[in-house]
Amino acid sequence: MNVLDNYVLGMDCGTTNIKAIILGQDGKKVAEASRPSKFLTPGPNMQEQDANDWWRQSKEIFQSLVAQAGQEVVDRIRGISISSHTVTLLPVDENGLPLRNAMTYQDGRSARELYQILTKMGFDHFVNTVGGQPSVSFLPCKLLWFKRHEPELFTRTYKFLQASSFINFKLTGKMTQDVDQATRTQCLDMNTMKWSKEIGDIIGIDLDKYLPEPQSVDEIIGYVTDQAAAETGLKAGIPVVAGCSDAMASLYATGMSKLGEAGESSGTTSLVFVGSKEKSPLDIPVVTRPCSIDGMPWIFDAPIQTSGAALKWYIDKFAAEERAYCDEHHLNIYNYLNEQALHTDPGSNGLFFFPYLLGERAPIWNEYCRSMFIGLSMTTTREDLTRSIFEGTAYALRHVITTVKESGGRCDALRICGGGAKSKTWSKIKASMLHCPVYLLNEDSGDVPVGDALIVGHKVGVFPDLTEAVKSVVKVDEVIQPNEEWAKVYDQLYPYYVNMYQSLDANLRALRQTVTDIQKDLHPEYR
């Protein structure tokens, strides 16, 4: 291998796996590695991960990258950037040791705390402070729940970290917080860009004391220590930047470069980006965030809770017959389901799937809605069920894009990276649902760690012109055009998707509370 002068390392700590790459100044990967992440479910509405596993897996990944790339390349790594899923509550002591498992953004146990915070602060005032719709996904209610239910651990807490912050701490010895994830916690006052004293007072926690001061995404926060170098095989002294959420890294990884382009990082969840000329108000369902891409000063940033996760759930829970067939014929289950979905008509013969398996974030922002099949009949086929999963997640995408367009965003084309980009059936449905072409990004260039590598590469001078670097790094494999017949069907059915949910909203809220109360009565240990 011809060794170049400069390389960068990008890593993403995702919900289902941790993965990383080493990228050369020519835009080519020289090494990549990943390890699966494990979810823990200690009770109803509880989703946790073990932070010690994050570091163990990260070490294995770094060691694998070093073995693949060779020492000459490793010695030329000029910077490291790490992104992660967000928002996470991870309390650590003064030595950086985790005091409990991390509560992830999918954890919904603190719904009552969220309600109490909103009651004291007022819904509108809260929204105009944090710049987003309140949700159990975010940090204020989790902090209050932790303080209330685990007071002994709270008294031992020194700082609360995000997943990427924890890995950065293990690399550099510095406890930090990047500004991108800080804006997503709903603890930051978006008017002052400082931790909200008012929210802190309501939950009884000094946020300035327990949350590290936000730093720019590309600010160098420290350097790989001798100890970290010994554990990972990396060279001591490599600069490490503050990093960002997987959402921000995904934005860079999609290769968006001009207004009119939208992006979707389609994995376990979906992260949707739509550019805008103007800053949005703070009191709408999806708000803009500052963007550093030339000609795109603002970006709408919208997370969808379960997209790829919905398909995996369907395979695990309902597709036993299809799994058995694939095992017998040595077929890939995902490819097989893509084919089966095409054996029925668009609209799945009137069957709707609502992908709210873990509640929903954008654009409805509530933890109590749940998935539904509506339209089942005696004539419903397995192919209808399969296609409805693809279509339901595409309806959710259209719901987001429509909301953003109403607030000034533009979507003339959709660029998709991540696992969802592998499904042409899904992409054809999305193109038809949105009335725009879908650009499928090359598997080697459109992944989240690529975005991390571009961020740090620009900071340390490996990619001095970010726009040109994006063009050389992020490749389009195929362009999927809308199917006009499908599009006509989806235009007729989409209003039902929105209206049926809205009609059931109040009942879903009440049902969720009733079911939670029943579970607590049946299982006192979960109270």
Determine whether 507 is exposed, middle or buried from the number of CB atoms within 10 Å of its CB (0-12, 13-18, 19+): exposed
Are 279 and 298 contacting, i.e. CB atoms less than 8 angstroms apart? yes
The reported pLDDT for the residue numbered 298 is 86
Question: Mean pLDDT, the chain, as a whole number?
Answer: 94
3-state secondary structure of 486: helix
Q: pLDDT class for 291, splitting at 50, 70, 90?
A: confident
Given a cut of 70, whether residue 144 has pLDDT beyond it is yes
Strand positions, DSSP E, 101-228 = 102-103, 159-161, 177-178, 188-189, 194-195, 214-215, 220-223
Q: Roughly what angle, to the nearest 10 degrees, separates helices 308-317 and 333-341?
A: 100
Question: Which range is least confidently modeled, 3-7, 54-58, 138-142, 474-478?
Answer: 474-478
Angle at 162 between CA 158 and CA 164, to 5 degrees: 120
- Is residue 233 within 8 Å of 33, Cβ to Cβ? no
Going by C-alpha positions, the residue among 138, 140, 112 that lies closest to residue 198 is 140
- Closest listed residue to residue 428, CA positions, set 469, 489, 475, 381: 489
Q: What is the DSSP letter of 366?
A: B
Q: Pick left, alpha or beta for residue 328 (phi over 0 → left; psi -120 to 50 → alpha; otherwise beta).
A: alpha
| Tokens, residue 453 | 């590598």
* Claim: this prediction has a pTM higher than 0.95: no
The string of pLDDT tens digits covering residues 55-72 is 999 999 999 999 999 999
Q: Report the C-alpha gap between 509 and 359 in whole angstroms.
A: 11
192-242: per-residue pLDDT in tens? 999 999 999 999 999 999 999 999 999 999 999 999 999 999 999 999 999
Question: In the 8-state DSSP scheme, what is residue 122?
Answer: -
Residue with tokens 């004291």: 120
In the chain, how many H helices and how many E strands?
20, 24
- What residues contact 12, with CB distance under 8 A and at least 6 apart? 18, 19, 20, 82, 83, 84, 246, 249, 447, 448, 449, 452
Tokens of 471: 């063009």
Work out the pLDDT band at 279, boundaries 50, 70, 90.
confident
pLDDT on residue 449: 94
